[in-house]
A = this chain, B = another copy of it.
């Protein structure tokens, strides 16, 4: 934080009428020319960009695009067409094998003591129920920890209701505290002999729009159906259980795994003028979950990154290095695209001088983090200083993951710049039917474009580089 304040004076001081500075700032490692060009990119983007138009087009012309679905194929076509229309070079679709899971139709109801229909969705990857569904008594637990410690005799044959509420936070930290129940709840409940898992949606909203998202079974373990209730439905189930009467639930899931399909990472570039072999990678993911149109997750991220790069490409002089935008295939259900990219481009990864991903909706950027060689931190300071006029006033640590699609590049020690976005409302919509275009404020997207354009330009133009990131990837 202190570092940012000092650096920001480099920008702020010349604006003081007296010409005097309140403190003597460290000299920026960036030339005045670089700073002027990056600041101009930033300020012009704040005045208005095409980002909203790009995500509008994706949500209207493609809509839901879970891995392997017809929407996924149309999204790849859209990505290639749109990248070309926006003037990118070397536009291509690099094939990726993806799993294909069909959510089918899901229904549920409390059948006793007070019958009520329940709104729910299958978790991503869940097996279906037998035809006719499953009906059993419900046992509630308040956490995965509590479930793990429960006597199997209390669980066997029952439907486990994992009733943990996600907390709202700007940095989305409530998600990490809750989402393990989604990923592993069915495994733990299955080991104890449960018939099925019902999860309180991992979301901060109170809409009848349940949350879904990836879960995984253990090899050779029990595979029980798993579904999420919307928060208001979970409230009713909780209240019926609080009566002390036995509560029965009927669940039918039509979900099932289908054969793998072909998808693709869609790639486009702004070729560098001096070191085209050095890559600044701007990532996002093209797939979405099935219930919504994937506006905030992750249409917004793709629109932000495509538009940030497009604006750099439209400059009279391109930066020294290449800016590569990658719309990753299937982030949501196993990082297929990111793994395929890291494998196909393994030889090139040492020349990836920076990677960033936008995958946290369209809320304003408020924090800069990094994962770079420690002696390159002054470069991060100089980049952070470029963002202070956007209200990006906080500084994170130097251990940023930067986005799930960057994880497979981590062993190659690709440096990361991460821009933290305001996620206060993100988990009201994330992975639900409510992930639609109307949730995006175009001005907030423009601020993101401004930030990423400045970051990417600086990373592609600056004389030095971030070195290699420290070893030891966060997973």
The residues of A with any CB-CB pair to B shorter than 8 Å are 56, 59-64, 70, 74, 114-117, 119, 206-209, 231-232, 235-236, 239-240, 243, 291-293, 432-434, 436-439
Once A206-B438, A232-B438 are accepted as A-B contacts, the answer to whether A119 and B239 lie under 8 Å apart by CB is: no
Report whether A207 and B206 are in contact in the complex, using a CB–CB cutoff of 8 Å.
no
A-B contact pairs, 27 of them (CB 8 A): A59-B236, A60-B236, A60-B239, A60-B240, A61-B114, A62-B114, A63-B114, A63-B116, A63-B117, A63-B236, A70-B115, A74-B114, A119-B433, A206-B438, A206-B439, A207-B209, A208-B209, A208-B292, A208-B432, A208-B433, A208-B436, A231-B438, A232-B434, A232-B438, A235-B438, A236-B436, A236-B437
- Chain B nearest CB from A245 CB (Å) reads 10
Q: Which residues of B contact A60 (CB under 8 A)?
A: 114, 236, 239-240, 243
Report whether B116 and A64 are in contact in the complex, using a CB–CB cutoff of 8 Å.
yes
Q: How far is the CA of A293 from the CA of B116 in the complex (A)?
A: 9
Number of copies: 2
Report whether A436 and B232 are in contact in the complex, using a CB–CB cutoff of 8 Å.
yes
Once A207-B207, A207-B209, A208-B209 are accepted as A-B contacts, the answer to whether A64 and B117 lie under 8 Å apart by CB is: yes
Report whether B116 and A437 are in contact in the complex, using a CB–CB cutoff of 8 Å.
no
Tell me the nearest residue of chain B to A78, going by C-beta: B114
- Chain B nearest CB from A116 CB (Å) reads 4
Report whether B207 and A434 are in contact in the complex, using a CB–CB cutoff of 8 Å.
yes
Report whether B235 and A437 are in contact in the complex, using a CB–CB cutoff of 8 Å.
yes
Q: In the complex, which of the residues B206, B291, B432 contacts A436, with contact meaning CB atoms closer than 8 Å? A: B206
Q: Which residues of B contact A206 (CB under 8 A)?
A: 436, 438-439
Q: Which residues of B contact A114 (CB under 8 A)?
A: 60-63, 74
Q: How far is the CA of A428 from the CA of B166 in the complex (A)?
A: 23
Q: Which residues of B contact A239 (CB under 8 A)?
A: 56, 60
- Chain B nearest CB from A29 CB (Å) reads 45
